Amino acid sequence: MRGIRILEIAKEELSREMKRVGASEEGIKRMLPKGEFVKIFLPGIPYTIANIIKQKMLSLGGETAVSRDTVKGGEGVTDCLILGTGKQIEELITYLKEQPFSTLREIVEELETVRGNYGKKEWLLPFPRHPLAIRGKPLIMGILNVTPDSFYDGGRYSRVELALNWAEKMVEEGADIIDVGGESTRPGSERVSVEEELRRVLPVVKELVKRIDVPISIDTYKAEVARLAIEEGAEMVNDISAMRFDKEMVEVVREREVPVVLMHMKGTPKDMQENPFYVDVMGEIYEFLLRRAEWAMGKGIKKENIVIDPGIGFGKRTIDNLEIIRRLPELKSLGFPILIGPSRKSFIGNILGGLPPEERLEGTASAVAIAVLKGANIIRVHDVGAMKKVVEVAYAISGEEDK
């Protein structure tokens, strides 16, 4: 796949995208008012094809922003930004299907796939013992850190019985999934050994499966930890590295046939917040998740077992985190459930004048509400009871329940 995606951006961001594509100022002024409709981004299109698309959209009353060099023809390529109504896009696709270019057929196929993905609202997460359906309203994933040094609740649940009691409370408050983690991934954190991580998480997972009736996720990037946790009853792997840090992880996920969360992160937890920078934050995240999902499926992992996560707070500046949440619907074009975890993260504290994690509940509620309105499918949070209420209200406001 080329990485075609439907953009979900305001006018100001649309103007910026046109400038990045290379459109002229005059062209931007002319096209911007039409950008209230469907906006589809096509990367790396040959000049010949781009000109066909542009001319057809113009004839339909739509627009296509391309590099100013496209008119010169030749062998170059350009990004394209298509602006049009749903009807105009359908007519464009019909027209392109009739053209003799093999490249166009590939583009049309992906366009149709992306549009279908974007409108998808239901998924079935095939947990081995507790399959869960997502039908509009997001699921709640409760965070259970059995670590001494997590950024918010480090040490609070490091004793097994305390961890079990807290997990039971989260389930009572409405958690659909419990995510157990034995290594802090806060900025600047050091890695722990496989043995230490197993010592922390296995007793909790082993007992938890006897006491709760919801799926347990294991938050780890280590294949051995994932394998043994699954043997004890875990039904999902939440891998912050998108299965990059441990080459054996893909085999564990494939052989056990459990869902896996593929998350975007720049660097490692130790260095991810050392001056992270993006030219196009959503484009880079989209491309990364697309390639990791394609790689995973190429290794035999079923599409229905993949969940994606843009990685709020992992190698991101405050402005990046805000843009990710604001443009979250773009990730729907990939066709996988979207997990997002803004809970008590640093960007919330930064917005609120430097508030510490324990004072970020209201800010988290705001971020969660917006994420729901933007189409998140799983919300990963510390405060299940409070955020369950936020999700209920935000989802009701979204009007999706009435559709």
Closest-CA residue to 392 (of 374, 372, 376):
372
The sign of the torsion formed by the CA atoms of 210, 211, 214, 218 equals: negative
The DSSP symbol for 338 reads B
- The residues, ordered by sequence, that sit 6+ positions from 70 with a Cβ below 8 Å of its Cβ are 47, 50, 51, 54, 76, 78
Alpha-carbon span 220 to 217, nearest angstrom: 9
| DSSP string over 177-199 | EEEEESS--STTPPP--HHHHHH
- The residues, ordered by sequence, that sit 6+ positions from 232 with a Cβ below 8 Å of its Cβ are 202, 205, 206, 209
The DSSP symbol for 276 reads -
Strand partners, 64: 82
Closest-CA residue to 125 (of 305, 260, 250, 253):
305
Closest-CA residue to 394 (of 137, 173, 170, 142):
137
* Amino acid identity, position 386: A
**Token pair belonging to 37:** 């409709």
Residue 89 Ramachandran class (φ > 0 left, ψ -120 to 50 alpha, else beta) = alpha
Q: Of all helices (H) and strands (E), which one includes residue 203?
A: helix 194-211
Strand partners, 78: 45
**Which residues are known to be catalytic?**
345, 380
> H helices within 212-312, ranges in order?
223-232, 249-256, 281-298
Closest-CA residue to 113 (of 293, 378, 280):
293
Alpha-carbon span 140 to 175, nearest angstrom: 5
